[in-house]
C-alpha cells in the first residue's frame, strides 16, 4: 500500500498528501531500478537497486 499514490499512513502529518513514495518508485523504475521495503517493529528500511543496461 505504501507505494500507492495518495496513500497516507496512520501517523502521517496533516501536510502529507501521500505522493512521495509513489513518485519515487515511478522515477526509480523508469531508470531501470527497483525499490522495496522491509519493516519490523524497530525500523523500516528502503532498498533501491539499479541495474546496468
pLDDT in tens, 1-53: 788 887 777 777 777 777 889 999 999 999 999 999 999 999 999 999 999 87
What is d(CA 42, CA 30) in angstroms, rounded to the nearest whole number?
31
Structural domain boundaries enclosing 38: 1-53
pTM over 0.85: no
Rounded Cα–Cα distance for residues 41 and 38 (Å): 11
Q: What domain count does the chain have? A: 1
Say which residues have a Cβ less than 8 Å from residue 22's Cβ, sequence separation at least 6.
3, 4, 5, 6, 7
Residue 15: the pLDDT is 76
Give residue 14's pLDDT. Answer: 74
Q: What is the predicted pLDDT for the residue at 47?
A: 97
Residue with cell 515511478: 26
Amino acid at each position: 500500500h505504501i507505494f500507492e499514490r495518495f496513500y497516507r499512513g496512520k501517523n502521517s502529518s496533516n501536510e502529507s498528501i501521500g505522493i512521495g513514495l509513489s513518485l519515487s518508485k515511478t522515477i526509480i523504475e523508469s531508470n531501470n531500478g527497483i525499490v522495496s521495503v522491509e519493516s519490523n517493529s524497530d525500523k523500516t528500511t528502503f532498498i533501491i537497486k539499479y541495474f546496468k543496461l
